[in-house]
């Protein structure tokens, strides 16, 4: 995860550099920077556990290529090695195996900067902060049968329940315009869901990664 985070940071800074050069080299086109846009997107999540996400984004122009944006997504499973390790302890005690999942629904608001690189191809960078609802789902299987561990083990907040946590999102990508008002989006989002020790003392941050394939319309 640290390697992916470093790669994200390098790409983020590099894209900002391209944006600064582009901003000096040419004037932003009004057709590329409309008053607002909306987008729906989906794609795979990467990391310790890979799955899918579905989401969307909307933006309102403040000035030039700068937008205030809201974005959100539902990630089916972003389980971590730490969650697997904690579940395995209980599974070994029960004499079985465990399957784990962090199911996340989040919403965030922030800023996005569009880079007017060409008439049709437009890179961007973005950042946002918001709230993530994290549902912890762990199932235990013994002799091929999913069992309820309650008679022998009482699960704590580290292996069950739902918690609201802060999420910080960084992203970059490229929009390709077509048919006047429409665009396709290919991008990447790195999200850090911060630990909430009020839920349980040993809670840890969750790193999320999304490869974005989107379709949008400008107004």
Residue 28 structural domain = 2-218
Q: Is the pLDDT of residue 185 over 80?
A: yes
Confidence of residue 208 (pLDDT cuts 50, 70, 90): very high
pLDDT > 70 in the chain, percent: 85
Q: Tens digit of pLDDT for each residue in 2-47?
A: 444 444 444 443 444 444 333 333 333 445 688 999 999 999 999 9
Q: Tens digit of pLDDT for each residue in 73-106?
A: 999 999 999 999 999 999 999 999 999 999 999 9
**Total number of domains in the chain:** 1
Cα–Cα distance between 95 and 99 in angstroms, integer?
Answer: 14
Please report, to the nearest 10 degrees, the dihedral formed by the alpha carbons of residues 50, 55, 60, 64 taken in order. 30
Query: What does the pLDDT read at residue 162?
Result: 95
Confidence of residue 200 (pLDDT cuts 50, 70, 90): confident
The arithmetic mean of pLDDT across residues 181-209, rounded, is 95
The arithmetic mean of pLDDT across residues 46-71, rounded, is 97
pLDDT > 90 in the chain, percent: 78
Q: Compute the mean pLDDT over every residue in the chain, rounded to the nearest whole number.
A: 88
Find the range with the poorest average confidence among 160-164, 175-179, 195-199. Answer: 195-199
Hey, CA dihedral for 30, 212, 1, 208, is it positive or negative?
Answer: positive
The CATH number assigned to the domain holding 64 equals: 2.40.160.20
Cα–Cα distance between 58 and 193 in angstroms, integer?
Answer: 21
Query: What does the pLDDT read at residue 32?
Result: 67
Is the pTM above the cut of 0.75?
yes
Query: What does the pLDDT read at residue 218?
Result: 95
């Amino acid at each position: 995860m640290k390697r992916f985070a470093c790669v994200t940071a390098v790409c983020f800074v590099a894209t900002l550099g391209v944006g600064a050069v582009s901003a000096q080299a040419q004037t932003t086109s009004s057709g590329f920077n409309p008053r607002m846009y909306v987008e729906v997107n989906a794609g795979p999540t990467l990391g310790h556990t890979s799955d899918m996400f579905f989401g969307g984004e909307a933006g309102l122009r403040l000035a030039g290529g700068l937008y205030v944006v809201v974005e959100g997504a539902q990630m089916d499973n972003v389980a971590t090695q730490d969650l697997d390790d904690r579940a395995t302890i209980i599974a070994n005690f029960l004499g079985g195996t465990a399957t784990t999942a962090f199911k996340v629904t989040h919403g965030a608001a922030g800023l996005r900067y569009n880079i007017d690189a060409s008439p049709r191809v437009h890179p961007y960078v973005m950042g946002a902060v918001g709230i993530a609802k994290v549902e912890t789902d762990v199932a235990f299987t013994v002799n091929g049968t999913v069992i309820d561990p309650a008679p022998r083990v009482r699960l704590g907040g580290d292996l069950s329940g739902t918690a609201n946590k802060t999420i910080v999102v960084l992203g970059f990508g490229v929009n390709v315009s077509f048919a006047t008002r429409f665009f396709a989006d290919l991008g990447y989002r790195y999200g850090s869901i911060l630990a909430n020790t009020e839920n349980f003392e040993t809670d840890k941050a969750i790193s999320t990664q999304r490869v974005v394939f989107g379709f949008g319309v400008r107004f």
